Amino acid sequence: MERTTQVIGQSSAFLDALERASRAAALDRPVLVIGERGTGKELVAERLHRLSPRWDQPLVIMNCAALPETLIEAELFGHEAGAFTGATKARAGRFEEADGGTLFLDELGTLSMAAQDRLLRAVEYGEVTRIGSSRPINVDVRIVAATNEHLPHKVEQSEFRADLLDRLSFEVVTLPPLRARKTDILILADFFGRRMASEMGREEWPGFGPHATDALSEYAWPGNVRELRNVVERAVYRWEREGPIEQIEFDPFHSPWSPAAVKARTIEPAPAEEAEEDDPVAACEEGPSDFKSRVSRFERELLRKSLAENRFNQRATADALGLSYDQLRHALRRHDLLGAR
């Protein structure tokens, strides 16, 4: 599998995580890779495979969140012809495809409890049974799984099997977010910038000017390395002047003419005589008038705005509000905002 992105970094937190992954690679045991979106979990999974004795065997990747719940089991374990509507012929699952190699399960935390039950048996006994069949198939597969969720908390909430977590967590590699790798930001930016300039056929790489360098260094990077790559490549392709790049745009959707901005302008409230701008309690006068309802409305609006300001990254939102991740999730669940976009 060819890669266009390399594992780059020199911060101690990042190098420690890579070292832990490298040491675990030689052992034929499951590994969990934990990290926010865009931190490079799939690249670390590939590293685990390439440094293992299974390096010359298949590395099969499955994103557990990319399929509806009804198809995940068929994708993992395969099915026989006629096992369900649309199954016109037998098909091997990802476990069979990865036999002898490594199966990387991305977004593990999204698996249904039924799929977790079958996954546990496959990991524990090394056998899978296709849907519609009663004959188990022996497989030799090393599991590497990744998630951006706190699985022990999901176990406490009865959303993830404790025995499966115990089986998969022989080693846990937690990748630091980019905001904790300050020394790597400009190194990565330079790498992505040079590559983009070369891709566009530019003979020289002008680098970044002081303003751009400061902006890149000070940004919180909720989307981590993936977001950094997009921001840098966009800046390179848009820069048409001589000299170092100085203009950085973090939000490509920012525009006075975007639908949200236009809607906000056309529904501006009339100058309110009954509410002072700096009086948050007065601003909640609409709707229920009892104290608890007004506080609840204010809290929901605060959560909604903070999510939007942090581009719906829940960990960044929790940091901005001074909450733990679990506290934020509890508040979002209480106000029915877990799936807010």
Which of 275, 272, 295 is closest to 283 using CA atoms? 275
Task: Provide the pLDDT for residue 324.
Answer: 81
Q: Report the alpha-carbon distance of residue 49 to residue 88 in Å, rounded.
A: 34
Q: Report the alpha-carbon distance of residue 139 to residue 130 in Å, rounded.
A: 12
Q: Report the alpha-carbon distance of residue 73 to residue 93 in Å, rounded.
A: 9
**What does R_g of the chain's alpha carbons equal in angstroms?**
24
Determine the CATH number of domain 179-238: 1.10.8.60
Give the model's confidence band at 66: pLDDT under 50 very low, under 70 low, under 90 confident, else very high.
confident
With 0.75 as the threshold, say if the pTM is over it.
no
Helix ranges (H only) for the chain are 12-25, 41-50, 69-77, 94-97, 113-125, 151-156, 162-168, 182-199, 210-218, 224-238, 259-266, 291-309, 314-321, 325-334
β-strands 137-138, 127-128 pairing: antiparallel
Domains of the chain, by residue range, sit at 12-176, 179-238, 272-334
Say how many Å lie between the first and final Cα of the chain, rounded.
33
> For residue range 3-33, what is the model confidence (pLDDT) as tens digits?
445 789 999 999 999 999 999 999 999 999 9
State the CATH architecture for 12-176.
Answer: 3-Layer(aba) Sandwich (3.40)
Mean pLDDT score across all residues of the chain? 86
> For residue range 185-205, what is the model confidence (pLDDT) as tens digits?
999 999 999 999 999 999 899
